[in-house]
Structure 1
Amino acid sequence: MLKLSELLCLAGVHVTFLNTEHNHRRLLGSTDAGSRFERYPGKLSFEVISDGLREDHPRSAEDFEGIVKSLQGVAEAHLREMLRAERGRKVTCVIAEGMFDYAFEIGKEVGIPVFAFETVSPCYLGGCLCIPKLLDEKEVLDENLVRELKKGCLECGRIVSWAPQEEVLAHPAIGGFWTHSGWNSTLESIVAGKPMICWAQYVDQLVTRRLVSEVWKIGVDMEDRWDRLSVEKMVKELMMGSRRQEFKKSAQKFSKLARESVNNGGSSYTSLDHLINDIRKLSSIKHFENTLS
């Protein structure tokens, strides 16, 4: 969402980014976001709100539904006030994470268009759309493994709370990526041309891991095998096994395709242009309506 905001700013669109206090602290404390966003004076601003949770709450994936529900309790009223308030510049539209359905209800209520921005893979969305038809026609982190991983990394690896993932993946020393198969991480690995070991947990990750391993042939799927021997076998298969060249060749192929898609004339480049033009048209309509009133 932040990268989309930057792209919109580069196109001259004014963006207000709504973030939680917890995430905003992490963003500023762990990245160069503060200095990076200074490139867009007057174009990008942040509004920060509480997520409704205690400071000592772990905010872990295991309580994902609870986090989303708590956030809604704060964000719903704040978003409604943001869209209704007169702040000088009129709000043309809202771009919201697709799972926050209340954003769409509020947009309809105040008469402001809302675009859904999905961070799950398109293949997963396609699968969801097929569920009704399939019905008509008739995967928890292992704490022991985590402890063993920390112990095994003492001499030959590192476990950190945050890392610049794109920079790490782009480094020539990286031969593979063990990932939870989130769509952003999968895309970043594809762009970097790095094969993957997929350890999916839930939602779209379960679909993405199958695409990576069975369709695109750019990695292996752990499925439900996370004992020491299975992990060792998959790492060796990815890094030095008989399929290493196959993985490497496929990863390079998809990396080329991904890079082409964001170049001038590529599919992603063109889709972003369409979005920007739609926002500009909405802005023109709003300006015309305000002039008439």
Structure 2
Amino acid sequence: MEQQTVPHLLLIPFPALGHISPMIKLAELLYQAGFHITFLNTPHNYDRHLRFTDLQSRFTSSPRFRFQTISDGLPPDHPRSVQLIRDIFFSTQLVTKPLLRDLLLSFPQDLPVTGIIADGIMTFAIDVAQDLGIPIFIFRTCSACAFWAYRCIPKLIEAGDLPFEDHDDMDRPINSVPGMETLLRRRDLPSICRMKDLENPVFQFFVNETLNTARASGLILNTFDDLEGPILSHIGSHFPQLYSIGPIHTLLKTRQGDTPPSVASNGGLWEEGGNCLAWLESKPFKSVLYVSFGSIVSVTRDELLELWYGLVNSGKPFLWVIRKDLIARKEGEEGEIPAELEGGTKERGCVVGWAPQEEVLAHPAVGGFLTHSGWNSTLESIIAGVPMICWPQLSDQPINSRFVSEVWRNGIDMKDRCDRVTVEKMVRDLMVDQREELEKAADKMADLARKCVREGGSSYCNFERLLEDIRSTMSFPQLS
């Protein structure tokens, strides 16, 4: 048999939008570099992609890019909400892991999988890959600062920083994360660090997944050297094959040139409210606050109302994404929206179920972003030069918001607060009182981000190095 000369890469995202979106952008980058790509998705998410994106049609004519599905181990009627996302952590390990091995064994002999790129919280794929002799790279979709904090959790425990109680001083300094000694407080640590029981399966899951990364051939991060250079240096001492190639969505656009991007690259799992762009056209330059809490964060009805009052009382125009599953309702909880909120929203607000976020942030009318500080949203805001109000809720979001407010200084942190007075003040600070200094920092960071993805920039060069290393580790296993 003639030896295959082009790598065939299998990409495995964690089945949530914040993970799928950057992974599919990475897949397109690798496809453009000439590789064969198989992108795995769960049937649940693949069906939603077919409904709301051009995922299928984009690559119909290409034999080098194919989509396949693999079960996440949950029944079709499982809500897959943030409250139950832990189910996916463990069902993928139990159910998806053996299915992945079977899938790899099923590929034809003339096109075997020669390399794998797996999500950083799907490290069971390392076991499968090593068993079959296939090189594997890990793509962790959080920030470098969050990854490093997860990696340092054993140090936090050893230093006595973990565990702590909810009633303890949440502003107590944390000094046991190298490179962040004077920066972090308890409240800034990843959300799992607020767990009192260090034997909690979710806590152990994140610790183990992070430690397991060292077993892979390399670690890919969606960040850039000018943003998180000092932290990347710490990570690099433990993970020599480290590739900082972000912002991936901008690197993709840069390398595509005049080629139109795939709608699938937005990773959308909801139908977008395109009318919001027309609404923005009617608004003055940098006058609108964009509000979105991503794809899985939920809020209580009380939090929703406090946020809403704060937005209306600020007097600033706002575009708010309220997903149909945003509100975590208590059983039997009902209630009308107060008339003053409906009136204030009708006067200067626009509410949609989902929005094309990259386009919204790039719109001249948008002057600020009230965000949950998810890493994709943070990077999209950085590249657009839009200052942020950070209201983090889970996972890596608390540490991202701390870096935004205290290191990069392109936003302000509203962590652990949600009352109408604070929201109103934060909006006015962002859009009026602190606007000039925040915009200056945001513009500087945006310029650095754009330079890093151009030819010769750090992320551009790191991606070229990743391509070379994938080719050099190319394997043609004898599957049996």
When normalised by structure 1's length, the TM-score is 0.89
Distance in 2 (alpha carbons) for counterparts of 1:157 and 1:20:
36
The one-letter code matched in structure 2 to 1:80 is: R
Equivalent of residue 146 in structure 1, options 301, 304, 312:
304
Equivalent of residue 210 in structure 1, options 398, 402, 426:
402
> Is the contact between residue 73 and residue 96 of structure 2 (CA under 8 Å) also seen in structure 1?
no
CA root-mean-square deviation: 2.2
Q: Which moved more, 1:123-132 or 1:93-102?
A: 123-132
Q: CA-to-partner distance for each residue in 1:85-132, whole Å, 9 max, x for gaps?
A: 242302111100011121111111111111110001011122233333
Residue pairs, 1:19-34, within 5 angstroms? 19-34=41-56
Q: Does 1:120 align with 2:142?
A: yes
Aligned twin of 1:244: 435
> Is the contact between residue 92 and residue 279 of structure 1 (CA under 8 Å) also seen in structure 2?
no
> Is the contact between residue 452 and residue 460 of structure 2 (CA under 8 Å) also seen in structure 1?
yes
Aligned twin of 2:466: 275
- Give the Å deviation of 1:180: 1.2
Aligned twin of 2:98: 77
> Is the contact between residue 30 and residue 162 of structure 1 (CA under 8 Å) also seen in structure 2?
no
Equivalent of residue 260 in structure 1, options 433, 451, 456:
451
Q: Does 1:185 align with 2:370?
A: no
Distance in 2 (alpha carbons) for counterparts of 1:11 and 1:110:
25
Secondary structure at 2:117 match in 1: strand
Q: Does 1:234 align with 2:392?
A: no
- Give the Å deviation of 1:147: 4.9
Structure with greater proportional helix content: 1
Q: CA, structure 1 residues 94+3, in 2 after alignment: closer, same or farther (shift >3 Å)?
A: same
Equivalent of residue 68 in structure 1, options 89, 106, 117:
89
The one-letter code matched in structure 1 to 2:146 is: Y
- Give the Å deviation of 1:172: 0.9
Aligned twin of 2:9: none
Secondary structure at 1:95 match in 2: strand
> Is the contact between residue 70 and residue 100 of structure 2 (CA under 8 Å) also seen in structure 1?
no
> Is the contact between residue 372 and residue 393 of structure 2 (CA under 8 Å) also seen in structure 1?
yes
Distance in 2 (alpha carbons) for counterparts of 1:281 and 1:257:
31
The one-letter code matched in structure 1 to 2:66 is: S
- Give the Å deviation of 1:134: 4.0
Q: CA-to-partner distance for each residue in 1:14-56, whole Å, 9 max, x for gaps?
A: 1100001221222232233334334x71121111233333444
Secondary structure at 1:117 match in 2: strand
Distance in 2 (alpha carbons) for counterparts of 1:180 and 1:80:
36
Unaligned runs of 5+ in 2: 1-22, 161-190, 192-297, 309-321, 323-336
Unaligned runs of 5+ in 1: none
Equivalent of residue 169 in structure 1, options 337, 357, 361:
361
Distance in 2 (alpha carbons) for counterparts of 1:72 and 1:65:
11
Distance in 1 (alpha carbons) for counterparts of 2:396 and 2:144:
9
> Is the contact between residue 73 and residue 92 of structure 2 (CA under 8 Å) also seen in structure 1?
yes
The one-letter code matched in structure 2 to 1:177 is: F
Secondary structure at 1:115 match in 2: strand
Equivalent of residue 59 in structure 2, options 37, 40, 63:
37
Distance in 1 (alpha carbons) for counterparts of 2:107 and 2:53:
33
Q: CA-to-partner distance for each residue in 1:132-160, whole Å, 9 max, x for gaps?
A: 34444445733322256374474243443
When normalised by structure 2's length, the TM-score is 0.56
> Is the contact between residue 92 and residue 112 of structure 1 (CA under 8 Å) also seen in structure 2?
yes
Distance in 2 (alpha carbons) for counterparts of 1:161 and 1:37:
28
Q: Percent identity?
A: 48
> Is the contact between residue 238 and residue 244 of structure 1 (CA under 8 Å) also seen in structure 2?
yes
Q: Does 1:109 align with 2:131?
A: yes
